[in-house]
Each structure stands twice: as C-alpha cells, then as structure tokens.
Amino acid sequence: MPDLLPAVWGLLGGDPEELPRIRVGGPPAVLRSTFPVTAVGAAAVGASLLAATRGVPVAVDTAALAVALRSERHVRLDGRAVGIPFDPLSAFHRTSDGWLRLHANYPWHRAAALRVLGCAEADVPAAIAERGALELEAALHDAGGVGAAVRTEEAWRTAAGPPPPLVERRVLGDAAPRPPGRPRVLDLTRVIAGPIATRTLAVHGADVLRLDPPDRPELPLQAYDTLPGKRSAQLDLATHGPVLEELLAGADVVVTGYRPGALDRFGLAPADLAERFPGLVVVTLSAWGHEGPWAHRRGFDSIVQAACGIADAEGTDGVPGALPAQVLDHATGYLAAAGALLALDAQRRDGETHHVRLALAGTAAWLQSLPRTQPGDVPEIDPAPHLVDVDAPAGRLTLAAPPGTVDGRSLTWPAPAPAYGAARPGWEAR
C-alpha cells in the first residue's frame, strides 16, 4: 500500500515532524478497485488524526477503515435497515449513444428527472434509452435534476479543463488570534463529504450545530449516519437572518457544502464572512470546484465518478462501474476536517481569517493521478468488530465506529446521539 500521507499532509499545511506519530496497520487492500482506495482512505483519515492531536501516537487500522468508508451501508435502527444508500433510479442507464448516471435519492431530484423524461418511474430506463447522454445531462441540469454522462478521463478533461487542486488554503484577511477553547462549528452541509467532515470534528471535541432548511429534509439514513456528536436544528436562512448572524458571531468554524455561490445571498460568501467575522475559519466543499464550466452544477460522489472517467475505468465489458465505496465523499470529508483543524490551530496561534476549499472533482483527480493495479482477491471485511450501538431518541442505532485510535484508545461517538431537527439553533455555553 503506497504511503500517500506525507504529500497530503504537506498540502494541508501540516508540520512534517508530526508524521512519525502515525501508524497504519491491517491488510494493504480492503476495498477491491483498480484505484488505491485503501491508501487514499488511510491518508485522509490519518491526516485528520494528526491534525486533531498533539504529541501522542495515532493509528489507522485498514479493516476498521473499510467499514468506516462505507458507514452508510451499516446503519441499523433496532436491528432493521432504515433505507438504502441509493434510490433504484440512482443507477447507470443506457442511452442512445452511451451511458448516463442518474441521481434520484432526494424527492425533488427524482421529480425533476421525471419531468425531463416525461414518464412514470417504471418507464425511466426506456425513456433514457431514447435520448443522448450529453443532451440528457444538460436537460437534467436545466430542470434542477442531477445526472452525468459517463465519460473517459480524456473526454472529461476536454469538457471541464484542469481539475481543482486537492486542497486550497488561503488567507481572507487580517484578524487577531482567538482564545483557545472548545471550538464551535456551524455545519451547513449535506451528503456526504461535508457531514463527514463535521462529524469528524465532533469526534475530536468540537461543538457542532448543523442547520437544515425546513422544506428540504434530510434522508433518515443520511441523518442517522452523519449526525452522531452533533446537534441538529432546522432554520430557514431566508427568514431568520438575525439568528444566522448570531450563530456566525459565536462560531469559530463554518463549513458549507453547497454549490459555489448558492449561499451568497445569505451573507455566506467567504469574503463577506471574513469582513463581518474576522478570525472565523471558513471551509467550503463542492462537487466540481469553484470555477470552470461545471462549477455551479449539482453533483454527488457517484455523479463525479461518472463524469470524470472513474466509472469508465472501473467498468467491465463496456458497462460502467463504481468505486467500492463513496471514497470521493469520505476522503474529502476527512481531509476537510484536517484542513479545518490545522486552520483553527493557525488562527489561534498567529491570527488571520483562514479559508480551506476542497471539491470532489479535486479528490477524483488525485485518485486518478495515482498508480493503478489490476485488483486481485480482496477478502471481505467482517464489519461486526467495527460497529457500535448508540442509544438515540428513535431507538437503538448501530453505526460504524469512527476510524482510528489516539494514544492506543479507540475513538467513540460523543453525545448527542442523532436527533434530526430536534435542537434549538443556538450555541451551548462554553
């Protein structure tokens, strides 16, 4: 397994003298792919562990990592599944000239797809088969839906231009150092990278408050998987501007996971935040990056895989395939957590207003840049030793444990247990 952490740690701004503190153990490959997904996951999680700690040994076990990178597959409520990771329509579909990956997990995206196709759900494959992949991709975007034609990597570079970097760090303005203390994190993210980033910050002691719009509820599976350790509230940003301002004034970190510019009307553009709240650490995540022809398109892990050439590379016999986990989401989430923690440390030490920016397309390009191998037999990991039970208001939750150990002790999910929308939109006393 290649050691990718030194290069990633350097991009994040980490001190190379911290690298000897980490150990990676377990099988060298735990997820079958032509891409080095085990190494990518180990590097991303390892970076988050190093960024969250000082002076103690940390470790990643790849067997536990395999379970954590597919955490959404292991969620159970009182022993029963609470949903499936993908709606049946969220799949590869043949078009008249190739393949299209559709995303229909959320009701509003499913409705947009049905409007574009002009058919009932049962007739979707046949309707897609009559259309061209690129034409349908554009029509879905224009209608508020989500889909991507399956391209080769070369075709993607022609369509989208140079990829965004894996991690971007910049200073938005001057600010005095803030005092130490339990960091407050305002979580304005959804599916899946952003929620994993903030979930990881909660594991390492942050007070995380997630806000969701009342008219766009989160899927139960996603909520149960990504809310451990956070408080969850619903807030209409358009009608509760003063509440949002109060939350931002009390926050140390804000993490957003929407399309670039989508939240600007609420005063959440990074430059605006730096002006009003000097010293706030701003972390932004997107699907495609903040510039380029695709910057303002909707996107999810599976859609990025299809568009950028990963699905083509993972396919067999002319049929596209997928990575064995939503590695773009998970790796980006852990890297974002590491970036946030390092920026927070730099702010408290030297001041300034820091901005960390990541994109799934940047993580995809990193993955595609790494050496590939023909996958051999990869034994299936038994998830049982890496699952934990959590008492929640809705019942007994079974979740993947947070990956990693600190000073020989396994990480655990802190309170509160997932309770979607149950909290008030305010900060706890320090």
Q: Is it the case that residue 310 has pLDDT exceeding 90?
A: yes
Q: Is it the case that residue 429 has pLDDT exceeding 90?
A: no
Asked whether residue 335 is assigned to any structural domain, the reply reads yes
Considering the domain architecture, whether residues 364 and 243 belong to the same structural domain is answered as: yes
Considering the domain architecture, whether residues 249 and 124 belong to the same structural domain is answered as: no
Considering the domain architecture, whether residues 140 and 171 belong to the same structural domain is answered as: no
**β-strands 99-103, 146-149 pairing:** antiparallel
Structural domain harbouring 135: 92-162
Q: Is it the case that residue 277 has pLDDT exceeding 90?
A: yes
Considering the domain architecture, whether residues 110 and 200 belong to the same structural domain is answered as: no
Considering the domain architecture, whether residues 349 and 284 belong to the same structural domain is answered as: yes
**Which of 162, 190, 220 is the C-terminal boundary of a domain?**
162
* Residue listed under structure tokens 């149950």: 422
Q: To the nearest whole percent, how much of the chain has pLDDT over 70?
A: 100
Work out the number of other CB atoms within 10 angstroms of the CB of residue 120: 9
Question: What pLDDT score does 366 carry?
Answer: 98
Considering the domain architecture, whether residues 120 and 237 belong to the same structural domain is answered as: no
Structural domain total, the chain: 2
Gap between the Cα atoms of 390 and 386, Å rounded: 13
Asked whether residue 201 is assigned to any structural domain, the reply reads yes
Q: Is it the case that residue 395 has pLDDT exceeding 90?
A: yes
Question: What pLDDT score does 377 carry?
Answer: 84
Gap between the Cα atoms of 280 and 277, Å rounded: 6
Asked whether residue 405 is assigned to any structural domain, the reply reads no
Mean pLDDT of all residues in the chain? 97
Question: What pLDDT score does 236 carry?
Answer: 97
pTM value surpassing 0.75: yes
Considering the domain architecture, whether residues 134 and 253 belong to the same structural domain is answered as: no
* Residue listed under structure tokens 């494959």: 125
Contact 266, 246 (CB under 8 A): no
Asked whether residue 50 is assigned to any structural domain, the reply reads no
**Which of 313, 340, 369 is the C-terminal boundary of a domain?**
369
Question: What pLDDT score does 18 carry?
Answer: 98
Question: What pLDDT score does 260 carry?
Answer: 95
Question: What pLDDT score does 81 carry?
Answer: 96
Q: Is it the case that residue 148 has pLDDT exceeding 80?
A: yes
Considering the domain architecture, whether residues 207 and 353 belong to the same structural domain is answered as: yes
Considering the domain architecture, whether residues 245 and 97 belong to the same structural domain is answered as: no
Map residue 185 onto helix, strand or coil.
strand
Considering the domain architecture, whether residues 109 and 239 belong to the same structural domain is answered as: no
Question: What pLDDT score does 379 carry?
Answer: 85
Considering the domain architecture, whether residues 229 and 153 belong to the same structural domain is answered as: no
pLDDT tens sequence across 337-380? 999 999 999 999 999 999 999 999 999 999 999 999 887 789 89
**Which of 162, 178, 196 is the C-terminal boundary of a domain?**
162
Torsion angles phi and psi, residue 357, rounded to 5: -130, 130
Listed range (11-15, 50-54, 426-430) with the worst mean pLDDT = 426-430
What is the mean pLDDT of the segment spanning 179-191?
96
Q: Give the chain's length.
A: 430
Asked whether residue 217 is assigned to any structural domain, the reply reads yes
Considering the domain architecture, whether residues 333 and 192 belong to the same structural domain is answered as: yes
Asked whether residue 308 is assigned to any structural domain, the reply reads no
